[in-house]
Amino acid sequence: MRWNINKRKEEFSLAYVRAIAAAAGCGTKTPTPDDHSVDIELILLSTSDGDDIKVIDPKLGIQAKCPAQDFLKNGTIKFPLPLKNYNDLRKVKLSVPRILVVNTIPPEIKHWLLHSEEEMLLRRCSYWVSLKCEPETLNTDNVTVHVPQANLFTPTTLLAIMERIEKGEPL
């Protein structure tokens, strides 16, 4: 039996995050069970423990979403996030910071990935946002989250996020 489209999107978004993490030098693990809106956890092994380092071996929890629709308008992705995920991601007292990563993909599965003997190309890109300290909502189903198009989730930005966590800086 073939997986349904939502399962495929979930696995594709996790593969994308793992590829970014590998390129950035981060390890990954899948927390089980996923009760707190963390699909994957990343860890960066610290290379030093200097005075500016507050956290050794920083970790980052990621809630990954993968819409096939185009939510990008005027430099912002307006993504309808389920209320439970919103509430879990906006929490303040977390030992491991959490972010939302939205991986945009083409509508047709055959266009998600291109490959040849020389390369494999994962189509479109991912964007990230921290929802820490966002306000409570009266919504009952989902919350439209605004993810800036400038927040590309790349190996370089992932390392910058991990360095902020390492230094105890907010995301």
For the residues 140-150, what does the mean pLDDT come to? 96
For 61, 100, 129, 139, the CA distances from 64, given in Å and listed in that order, are: 10, 6, 11, 21
pLDDT at residue 71, as a whole number: 84
Give the pLDDT band of residue 126 (cuts 50, 70, 90).
very high
For the chain, give the percent of residues with pLDDT over 90. 71
Q: pLDDT at residue 53 above 90?
A: no
Instruction: Map out the domains of the chain as residue ranges.
Output: 5-166
Tokens of 112: 């998600």
pLDDT at residue 139, as a whole number: 95
To the question of domain 5-166 being in CATH 3.40.50.2300, the answer is no
Residues 6+ positions from 72 with CB-CB distance below 8 Å: 104, 149
The whole-model pTM stands at 0.92
Mean of pLDDT over the chain: 92
pLDDT at residue 1, as a whole number: 56
Q: pLDDT at residue 41 above 60?
A: yes
Q: pLDDT at residue 51 above 80?
A: no
Both ends of the chain: CA-CA distance in Å? Answer: 41
- The per-residue pLDDT for range 66-108, each reduced to its tens digit, is 988 878 889 999 999 999 999 999 999 998 999 999 999 998 9
